[in-house]
Amino acid sequence: MMLSNTENPARLIVCERRGRWAAALRRELAGVGVRVWETRTPDGCRRELEASPASFVVLQLDRDAIETLRFLSGLRRDFPAARFAVVSERDQAAFEMPFREAGVVHFIFSPRRAGLLARMACRHLAQVPPPRQSFSERLWASLPWGDDGAR
C-alpha cells in the first residue's frame, strides 16, 4: 500500500531534538511511501500540524515532563483529528500513565520498537479521508498526464 501526502493530507510528524526516532521510523517505512516530517521545536510541530491537522505525531518527552504534557494537551485540544505517540528514555517510564491518560496512543522507550510505531502511523494515515476537491480538480487529477497547470 503506497501512501503519499498528495493523496492524504495527514503527515507523520516527528518532534525531537536529535533525529534518532525519525531515522528509526524511516528505516521501518522504507518502500512504503510515507514521508517523515521532522521538527526540532514545539513551535515547528504546531506549524506542521496547522498544515496537516489530522497527522500522526511522534513527540519526544523532554526533561520537563509537565511542560511536555501541557504542550500535548494543547495540541490535542486544537487538533482533535491528530493522533499522538510519545517517545522517551527508559528513565522516564514513570510518566507513561499520565501521558496515556492525556490520550497518547503509544508510549515507547526504544527505537528498536519503531516498527510498531510505524504500523500505527500507517494505519492512522490510511484512515484520514482525502481533502475535498471540486469536480474539475478530481477530473484533472484522474487524467494520465496529471495537472500540469494548463487549464
Q: What is the mean pLDDT of residues 95-105?
A: 93
Give the separation between CA 16 and CA 32, rounded to whole angstroms.
22
User: Over the stretch 70-97, which tens digit does the pLDDT of each residue have?
Assistant: 999 999 999 999 999 999 999 999 999 9
User: Over the stretch 25-75, which tens digit does the pLDDT of each residue have?
Assistant: 999 999 888 999 999 999 999 999 999 999 999 999 988 899 999 999 999
12-142: CATH, from 3.40.50.300, 3.90.1280.10, 3.30.160.70, 3.40.50.2300: 3.40.50.2300
Q: Where are the domains of the chain?
A: 12-142
pLDDT for the residue numbered 5: 38
The closest alpha carbon to 16, from 114, 124, 119, 120, belongs to 114
C-alpha cell at 138: 478530481
Residues 6+ apart with CB under 8 A from 24: 111, 112, 114
pLDDT for the residue numbered 2: 37
How high is the mean pLDDT of the chain?
A: 86
| Confidence class for position 1, pLDDT limits 50, 70, 90 | very low
Residues 6+ apart with CB under 8 A from 109: 87, 88, 89, 90, 92, 93
C-alpha cell at 86: 510519545
